[in-house]
Structures are given as structure tokens and as C-alpha cells.
A and B are shown apart, each in its own frame.
Chain A
Amino acid sequence: MVISVVSGKGGAGKTTLATSIAQVLNAEFYDLDVDAPNSEYFLKPEFNREQSIYQPIPTFNEDLCDACGRCTKECRFNALIKIVDRIYLTESLCHGCGLCEKVCPQQAISYRDSAIGTVRSGYSERLKNNVHVGDLKIGSTRGTYLIGELVKQIVPDQMAVIDGPPGNSCSAVAAIKPADLVVLVVEPTPFGFHDMEQTEQILIQMEKNYLVIANKAMNEESVDSFFQGRSKKCSLTIPLDERYLKANLDGDILSSRFSEVYSSLKSAIEQELATI
């Protein structure tokens, strides 16, 4: 069972809820917010393993390359440029598609692996389970690829929680794809609702089971009135409570510190899991 925690809007509380849900379910944890991973501040894992994640990129055999420029014309990602009589690669733009290798009339191009990031793994005493954190190399544009590679490492049949990236683009899709259940976190503000509706479109298109949790609610009424008349109801509303904000600053897992968060999350998730 894989549970992905996502939200269109950033700062809605994905990491807060993902770490809590993992604690409640005693699940293995995957931090896939690869360009801003923060779960470790709450889970405090002892990292004992680090592996690099690679994507294939082209290299040029200078003896064979006559700088004809065919590869630079064919590359759709503008990753190759010709300056005087040499071809240069902008690694951060390369998608590793392999086209340049195929089109090169001199067979001067071959592919090798290049690191785009790392995944650190370790055991969290607080979670009583393993934690994996993806770190995209700063400046790399290949976050979606890194997420895809990390997802492949999820062992089927284990209980796993994914802390996804914000937004509604390809990287969010990559973090949603492996999920059996998606937890959609909404900040109940005009912004949060706006972004949530876009994420919902993705979930519906991908035919995902999902539940909605409102977090940082200023008042219950605004949540109720928003969900009134909508087919999807809000399973749980967590208030904007300064005690919760302080716990966050202390690096606490919210459900470990507050029993009401533990029990309400547990029942909301279990209820939904029972329907799958």
C-alpha cells in the first residue's frame, strides 16, 4: 500500500501530514520533494546509506566528431550547441533521449551515466521504520526523472508514505503515479482551494483513490462552505493552532505530540483504506 501526500499549493502542510501519517501507520517513508526535502527535520533518521541516481548523457569521441552539427539541429531540448569546431553539452537540459547518438553520421556519440542527485537512506527511531530522502543536485532540471527512479525502489506490498513535491506539473504526477491512495492536503484559503481543484483534475484523470484533509483552518465554516455541494467531502479539518506551529518549529512529528491529531488522522486514513 503506497500513500502519496500532495497539495497544489506549497506550504499547505504536506510534510507535516506525511510524517504524521507515516508515524500513525508505521510506514516506510519516501521524501520525493527532491528540490526541497524537509522530512528529515522531523523524522531525524540515522542515515547509513547514500546512493547516486544517474541518468544517461551523451559524450563525444573527439577523434571521430567532425562538428557537422547534425546532433545540435536534432536535439529538441537545446542541450547541444556548436561553438567553432566543437560540440558542447548543457547537461541540465539533456533528457537522455538518445537521439543524438542515433543521428550522428560519424558514430562519435555514446552514452554514459551522470549523477543528477542522491538518495540517502536510514532508520528513524521516531518512525520505527526506514526513511529515504531524494536530493536533486542544485541547478539540475531533472527532478521528475529522479522521482521516477526513487519510486522504482519502493518494495511492493509494504506500507509506504510518499511526501510529494508541491504544484501540479510533471513532478507531482510522478509522485502520484505509484499511489494506491492519495492524501490531498488543502490549505483552506482562496489560494489553497484554487490549487486543490487543479490537483483534483490530475487525480480524477489518473483514477486515483483520494481523500482531502484541510490543514491550517482559520475557521471550520470556510471549509464547510467550500465543500458544500462538492462530491468530494473533506475527511478531516486540522485547525491553525499556534501550538501546532510551535511543535513544527521544535521539529516534532505532529501526531506524536498531539493525541487528537494521532487519533483523528488514524480514523480518517483507516476509513478510506477500508474502502479500497
Chain B
Amino acid sequence: MTRQIAILSGKGGAGKTSITASIIKVLNSVVAVDADVNASNLPLLLPHDTRSTEPYYGMDIAHINQQTCNGCIICSEACQFDAITRDSLGQVWVNSECEGCGSCVFSCPVNAINLVEHVGGEWFLSTIDNGYLVHADLIPGEDNSGKLITKVRNEAASVAKEKNIPYIVIDGPPGTSCQAISSITGTDLVLAVVEESLSGLSDYRRLAELIGKFSIPHFVLINKAGFSPEIENKIHAAVREFNGELVGRIPFDRKIPEALQGLQSMAEMNEYRKDIENVLQQLLKALDEIT
């Protein structure tokens, strides 16, 4: 049975992607998922070979048949999103605010509107040294990234099943909103990467509260540590409060961002590979204990 680990942080820039890539590199066999579909960076750290590219269809959106439309604009009144406007020539158009609810279709007295497929991005299946990488690019500004995340995760699950790969590791998006929810749903455990800062602590608290709603165990790796023992203590207290478990601490070290400039993760750094392996061992042990 495949186990799924999601790596999140609440705060952006805490080090999710570099830690995710490091963990992926020390596993024997893995399906990696980049769930940060509108700022997809994991593929930059994982040498990969893209095997297939598929269009991603977001929500269908409204389309007005100009031949049939009588310009009555009843649809615009039905639309809650200000997505339908009439131009100075009396022609009625759907703009980018359309969320695809279909209210206009229902309200149109002359059946001039239907919902049409809408490409919101692409998703990719790639091979990496020790398994597969499923990733995606949302078209910038597009809606519904949660749906795309669900899509790449489903693909990852079927690849893992088909190839009999024991672990799926998900690089999550920042924040605690719809994209984070789509990344956590159905996983076996969450690794929270917490930056040692006031913002890092605050966003961890929001993330831990969200994870709590899923009844999934979570583990915490403190990153960029060493500046403020006071904040670090507060993070420890918050981890206890939310029933998390601390699995490690990576200090702030200029060598890490310098290595990242050259697209090298901590798994390739002699001084940190052991730390990453140690974190992974604790996560795998926890997964074994989940029945």
C-alpha cells in the first residue's frame, strides 16, 4: 500500500521545496508530486525527463452564442460574479471573472449560453532517477488550482499503484487555503517546515489548526534556525500545543542557499545529508506505526 507524505509550511519561503527535494533524493523509490501548481519549483531541483504532457481542463466557462443572443442581459443579473457585460454595440460578453456556475445558462430566455471546456494549464508525468515526478503549470492568473492539485495527486496515486512504489511525497503550496487543503486531503502524514521567525510561527499555528481538522499526524522540522532561541522556544511550545512532533532542526547557513543557486539540495551536501536521512527515518517509522 502506498503511503503519502505532504510537506507544507503555511509561510512561503520556509524551505518546503528544498527540503522536499532532499527527502525525495534519499528515498529508494518514490513518486514525487509538485502541488504548488502556480509556482512550480520542485522540477528545478529534480533532474527529470518529461514523458507526457496533458492539458488540464479547469471549470467549464460560459460561452454566449452571438447569433442567438438577443442582448436582453437577463444573464448579467443572474451572474453573481460580474462576469457578463454588454458593450456599447449591445453585444454581450463573458469576461475572465466567470466561475462557471451556470446561472446564466439557466436564466437565458433564448438558450444562447452554454458551458464550454476551458484549458487552465498543463500537467506532466516525468521520470526521475528513483521514480516519477508528477507536476503541473497553471496558466498564470487562472482559477481553480485546487482541482489541478487533485488531478496531479490522482495521477501520482495511479502511477504508484501501477509501479508498486511505496511512497508519494508532495511538495505543498504556501498558505492554508484551498490549495493547502487539496494537498493535505487523504495523506497519511504532514511534515510542517517551520521557519524560525515570527511569521513562520504564526503561519505554523494556522497550518496546525488546519491539519487538526483532518486528524492526520504532523511532524515539524524547524528551518533557518539559530538567530532567536526565544522564537525557537515558542515554536517548540506551539508544536506541543498542537500535538505535533519535532523531527529536526536545520540552522541558517549561507551554504544552503548558495547550493540552491546551483540547484543542489541538502541531500547533495555532505554536512546535511545525514540530517535529512534522520528526518526521513522518523517519518517512515511513524508511517509504519499507522495502521
Q: Does B17 contact A (CB under 8 A)?
A: yes
Interface size for chain A: under 10, 10 to 19, 20 to 34, or 35 or more residues?
35 or more
Q: Are B210 and A11 interface neighbours, CB within 8 A? A: no
Q: Does B12 contact A (CB under 8 A)?
A: yes
Look across to chain A and name the residue whose beta carbon is closest to the beta carbon of B199.
Answer: A38
Q: Does B209 contact A (CB under 8 A)?
A: yes
| Residues 130-144 of B contacting A (Cβ, < 8 Å) | 138, 140-144
Look across to chain B and name the residue whose beta carbon is closest to the beta carbon of A10.
Answer: B12
Q: Which residues of A contact B203 (CB under 8 A)?
A: 36, 38
Bound Cα distance from A98 to B83, whole angstroms: 14
Task: Please tell me which one of the listed residues A41, A173, A189 contacts residue B257 in the complex, with CB atoms under 8 A apart.
Answer: A189
Q: Are B206 and A35 interface neighbours, CB within 8 A? A: yes
Q: Is the interface of B mostly helix, strand, loop or mixed?
A: loop
Q: Are B10 and A166 interface neighbours, CB within 8 A? A: no
Q: Are B103 and A202 interface neighbours, CB within 8 A? A: no
Q: Are A38 and B13 interface neighbours, CB within 8 A? A: no
Q: Which residues of A contact B179 (CB under 8 A)?
A: 167, 169
A220 → chain B closest CB, angstroms? 13
A150 → chain B closest CB, angstroms? 15
Q: Which residues of A contact B227 (CB under 8 A)?
A: 245-246, 249
Bound Cα distance from A173 to B96, whole angstroms: 11
Q: Are B140 and A199 interface neighbours, CB within 8 A? A: yes
A127 → chain B closest CB, angstroms? 17
Look across to chain A and name the residue whose beta carbon is closest to the beta carbon of B106.
Answer: A102
Of B22-30, B168-176, B269-277, which binds chain A? B168-176
Q: Does B249 contact A (CB under 8 A)?
A: no
Q: Does B151 contact A (CB under 8 A)?
A: no
Q: Are A201 and B174 interface neighbours, CB within 8 A? A: no
Knowing A11-B12, A141-B178, A141-B181 are in contact, say whether A170-B107 is a contact too (CB < 8 A). no
Q: Are A140 and B177 interface neighbours, CB within 8 A? A: yes
| Residues 60-83 of A contacting B (Cβ, < 8 Å) | 74, 76-77
Task: Please tell me which one of the listed residues A169, A195, A240 contacts residue B142 in the complex, with CB atoms under 8 A apart.
Answer: A169
Q: Does A267 contact B (CB under 8 A)?
A: no
Q: Which residues of A contact B173 (CB under 8 A)?
A: 167
Bound Cα distance from A12 to B39, whole angstroms: 12
Look across to chain A and name the residue whose beta carbon is closest to the beta carbon of B103.
Answer: A99
Q: Does B51 contact A (CB under 8 A)?
A: no
Q: Are B141 and A97 interface neighbours, CB within 8 A? A: no
Q: Does A168 contact B (CB under 8 A)?
A: yes
Q: Are A41 and B100 interface neighbours, CB within 8 A? A: no
Look across to chain B and name the residue whose beta carbon is closest to the beta carbon of A190.
Answer: B44
Q: Which residues of A contact B263 (CB under 8 A)?
A: 190
Query: Which residue, of B11, B80, B178, B181, has the highest number of chain A Cβ atoms within 10 A?
Result: B178
Q: Are B13 and A10 interface neighbours, CB within 8 A? A: yes
Q: Which residues of B contact A15 (CB under 8 A)?
A: 199
Bound Cα distance from A166 to B199, whole angstroms: 14
Knowing A139-B213, A191-B41, A222-B261 are in contact, say whether A99-B106 is a contact too (CB < 8 A). yes
A-B contact pairs, 11 of them (CB 8 A): A9-B41, A35-B206, A36-B175, A36-B176, A76-B60, A76-B101, A76-B115, A136-B177, A167-B179, A168-B140, A246-B227
9 pairs of A and B residues whose beta carbons are closest in the complex:
A11-B13, A10-B12, A97-B101, A141-B178, A10-B174, A38-B199, A35-B177, A195-B39, A191-B41
Give B residues with C-beta under 8 Å from A. Answer: 10-14, 17, 36, 38-41, 44, 59-60, 78, 80-81, 99-103, 106-107, 115, 138, 140-146, 173-181, 195-199, 202-203, 206, 209-210, 213, 227-228, 231, 252, 254, 257-258, 260-261, 263
Give A residues with C-beta under 8 Å from B. Answer: 8-12, 15, 33-36, 38, 41, 56, 74, 76-77, 92, 95-99, 102-103, 136, 138-141, 143-144, 165-173, 187, 189-191, 194-195, 198-199, 201-202, 205-206, 216, 218, 222, 240, 245-246, 248-249, 251
